[in-house]
A and B are shown apart, each in its own frame.
Chain A
């Protein structure tokens, strides 16, 4: 490790005062001159940062602090808030079966759909990486669902596909199997949403594609010379070198899918039905806050969600030590 010039410079500057106690005045003057220039430059820096700071405080941090306060109150939106201490948090885990259910639903959704989606995205990225003609076209087409997936139109389409008279049942009908209303049955409704999530594989796929391009081709050549088959190459070269990308995608998708809202909101008509089978965490939060006028409770839910996602991400990072391989750490 060598210090870069800039770092060395600041190091001597901070080390300067104790070294030169006798020539105080001169030293101070020199420092003042220097720091006033530094200060004015710092000012310019802060000014440039200001728009971001304003955004951070006014749009993100301010409301977050407000919601933290509200989570300890019985705020109803319509009337002033009253302090209730930890009641909201207490109720969540001791007296609200729907809350526990929404946690279960969301966890199932995340645990099943994220690995499936990533596997699907990786599979397609591998296929596309084989140097298909018209790759940009296919890439765009496969990416499209990612853009549309959370939209109202797609959720309505889903109803049509998985409805009692939908395409799926028509198809099953050809084989003499009488299907059911997949979207409207409590046993299958969540699974149609999982399929919907898997279908929006475009974003991770594009990232995988970029990752695949980063793998040096000569590794494959060397492996081939050594007699490694396709599968062996995938296991010993592609997969290990791709682990940072897989990790990145996994972290991103877990966070994203834990906050899923629209799919369930539109497909279930806003109530997480049938029989709460698609009651996502954020949907329940919305219902509590805006439909049942329990904004304090909803705020508490939001904070617990933040903690859950934070904890999951931390676990993800801790686990990554055991399976993620960064090319540079020998």
Chain B
């Protein structure tokens, strides 16, 4: 009997030990250790680890623990940790999450806490909510038209002048390329990225968000769908089903598989697209609507560094963020991985180290500098709103709803999601 009791007791201790073991991981054990969470590819993880090592070398008293996951599970993990009161000290987030996190008091106001004097001030504004600097942009992206010039010329066509081309020019050119290739490869791929609509609406003078609501009018959404539908109908690009399969990851882009001559992607993906395809790819301004007064193009922070409002290691966290955005040594390691840096000093210092593709992005951004529309921080509910847009777009492209009905549904549902 006693032996049984003893065995049971031992087992209990063992069980409770494992319970403790899993419980206090990642806690605030070390006073000088901060946790930095981010998402991305393996290559980003390597670069980030290198940057962390550099920081620790310069600040021997501070330890940084990288908390890395892929994007699909990133927010799930971050939100759960925040809920458990175990939020990372420094958190990477992207623009759609900014309002979600700042409005709930999860992240701290960094005004005057991190040096921002050398950063692009207009981009820095995209880290502000209600006048508070909740987030520091890591770097910027544009959403341009990317072209494989060789593929265009091979089809006997000329690469257009991107200062004057219209949406119709773009579609008819892509259509000719498809026809010339016997329908086997396409003139253009397209996607339902909201950035595309944002540019299209910007050309009509409509901001994407206005006063916490959708700023795009019903008519504009319908016109945008007409444009996408025209690409499909004229066979300038593939069917909606094919585009849906291709997905939103650059490694499966039709530009990479050499099935398309044009495509729109975020500018920091040019490097990956170029490497994946082995082709020379270039950036063009987005086509314009006839009579458009603005290009609609904008620079958007690729992501932000934010600091948890509940961290006890504020000083160390601030120092780390400061290092990431202001120190040329950090810039020399991270390069354009988190978008092109907006710190003028960093850019000058690392210019020579950038890949040829990134050099092109830098030159492109320089050339469109005077034509940019301001960036707006999306209100709370933006992630849901983008899902609603995607659903409405698909329902039109797959013939499940009329554009009129879908546009009405989109505006109503989107405004509902934003007002919550």
Contacts and interface: CB of A to CB of B under 8 A. Distances in A.
Interface of A: 40, 43-44, 47-48, 50-51, 54, 58, 76-79, 159, 163-164, 180-181, 183-186, 269-271, 273-276, 287, 290-293, 295
Given A270-B72, A275-B400, A292-B384, A181 B244 contact: yes
B245 interface: yes
B333 to A, nearest CB: 31
Interface stretch (B76-84, B116-124, B299-307): B76-84
A275 B104 contact: no
B76 A50 contact: no
Nearest to A288: B384
Given A44-B1, A275-B391, A78 B76 contact: no
A282 to B, nearest CB: 14
B12 interface: yes
Interface stretch (B2-10, B34-42, B273-281): B2-10
A290 B81 CA distance: 12
Interface string B355-395: 00000000000000000000000000101100100110011
Contact of A273 (B76, B79, B104, B244): B244
Contacts of A269: 247-248
B105 interface: yes
A50 B104 CA distance: 40
B19 A290 contact: no
A51 B390 contact: no
B400 A186 contact: yes
B12 A274 contact: no
A292 B380 CA distance: 9
26 contacts: A44-B1, A47-B5, A47-B8, A50-B15, A54-B15, A54-B19, A58-B19, A77-B80, A79-B104, A79-B105, A159-B245, A163-B245, A164-B239, A164-B242, A164-B245, A180-B239, A184-B240, A184-B245, A185-B398, A273-B244, A274-B398, A275-B395, A275-B400, A290-B76, A290-B79, A291-B387
Given A164-B239, A184-B241, 9 more contacts: A79-B104, A164-B245, A180-B239, A186-B395, A186-B398, A275-B398, A275-B400, A290-B76, A291-B387
A246 B52 CA distance: 59
A79 B245 CA distance: 37
Contact of B101 (A78, A184, A287): A78
B75 interface: yes
Interface string B91-102: 000000000110
B105 A47 contact: no
Name the 5 nearest CB pairs between A and B, nearest first: A181-B241, A79-B104, A184-B241, A184-B244, A47-B8
B9 A47 contact: yes
A48 B245 contact: no
A186 B83 contact: no
Contacts of A40: 1
A293 B79 contact: yes
B229 interface: no
B405 interface: no
B106 interface: yes
Nearest to A185: B241
A47 B5 CA distance: 8
A48 B8 contact: yes
Contacts of B240: 184
B159 interface: no
A78 B100 contact: yes
A273 B398 CA distance: 12
B15 A78 contact: no
B104 A76 contact: yes
A180 B241 contact: yes
Most buried by B among A43, A58, A185, A275: A275
A159 B75 CA distance: 26
B15 A186 contact: no
A42 B319 CA distance: 59
A177 B269 CA distance: 37
A50 B9 CA distance: 10
A173 to B, nearest CB: 14
Nearest to B409: A97
Contacts of B400: 186, 275
A185 B245 CA distance: 10
B11 interface: yes
B8 to A, nearest CB: 4
A78 B79 contact: yes
Given A50-B12, A78-B79, A163-B245, A293 B398 contact: no
Contacts of B80: 77
A44 B387 CA distance: 56
Q: Which of B15, B82, B381, B398 has the most CB of A within 10 A?
A: B398
Nearest to B14: A51
Interface string B236-252: 00111110110110000
Given A44-B5, A164-B239, A291-B383, A78 B106 contact: yes
A292 B398 CA distance: 26
B245 A271 contact: no
Interface string B61-85: 0000000000010011001101100
A273 B75 contact: no
- Listed residue (B12, B76, B105, B244) with the most chain A CB atoms within 10 angstroms of its CB: B244
Nearest to B73: A290
Contacts of B245: 159, 163-164, 181, 183-184
A47 B12 contact: yes
Contacts of B398: 185-186, 274-275
Given A78-B83, A274-B398, A275-B391, A291 B241 contact: no
